[in-house]
Amino acid sequence: MAKGKRRANREGSVWQRRDGRWTGAAYVLTTAGTFKRTYVYGRTRDEAHVKLVRLQESSDRGIPLPDHPWKVGEYLDYWLANVARPAVRPTTYAKYELIVRLYLRPGLGPHRLYRLSVQVVQSFFNARLVAGDSVALVHITRTVLSTALACAMREELLQRNVARLTTLPAPAPDRRQPWSADEARRFSQRPGRIRCTRRLCCCWYMAFAAVRFSG
């Protein structure tokens, strides 16, 4: 009887489990620089095989898998403490921390970072809009999440930034109207204001003109 072909080192394998599902396994590169046996799953053999091939191709291209099974909430805490806090202004950090604490950690925290998908993040944003969050707030939430996921990509924990692939309604336009020259003049002449000298009036008018031009 001819002997079966011996599998090469780190070559993957696919088999069917007792519950009917299929499992694929192979040794792939991790962010620690080592090779780790990693598993994929599918309802059919072909589905498991396709996932396994993609996993191996990524490893062959030098794209490592995380050596630590980060969850989104855990990674956001790490990102706040070790990346955002030393790099951004205190006011910006306070905004990041608030968005993570009130929205991102409760909504996405339990998900595996590596398996975070566009569908999961899109559903999260849609749910926030249905719950009554303003479009502007959800845009800010997406920006904070995208900033954290971009850091995860630089650290080779992710291959893509799924937050950037989501779709949100356009924010409402800013309906504030700049003052006219007459309105600015009346403001500067109101009782109780600082006495408007000739030089100060010129400064006021230049400032109002600049604001009006930029608007």
pLDDT digits (tens, 9 = 90+) for 63-77: 777 677 889 999 999
Structural domain contains residue 8 = no
Statement: residue 47 has pLDDT above 80:
yes
Domain region containing 192:
181-214
Residues 6+ apart with CB under 8 A from 127: 107
* CA-wise closest residue to 112 among 78, 72, 68: 72
pTM equals 0.60
Structural domain contains residue 160 = yes
Statement: residue 215 has pLDDT above 50:
no
Higher-confidence residue of 30 and 198: namely 30
28: helix, strand or coil: strand
pLDDT in tens, 95-120: 999 999 999 999 999 999 988 999 99
Task: Let me know whether 116 and 146 are in one domain.
Answer: yes
Higher-confidence residue of 203 and 63: namely 63
Structural domain contains residue 86 = yes
Task: Let me know whether 84 and 161 are in one domain.
Answer: yes
Task: Let me know whether 151 and 97 are in one domain.
Answer: yes
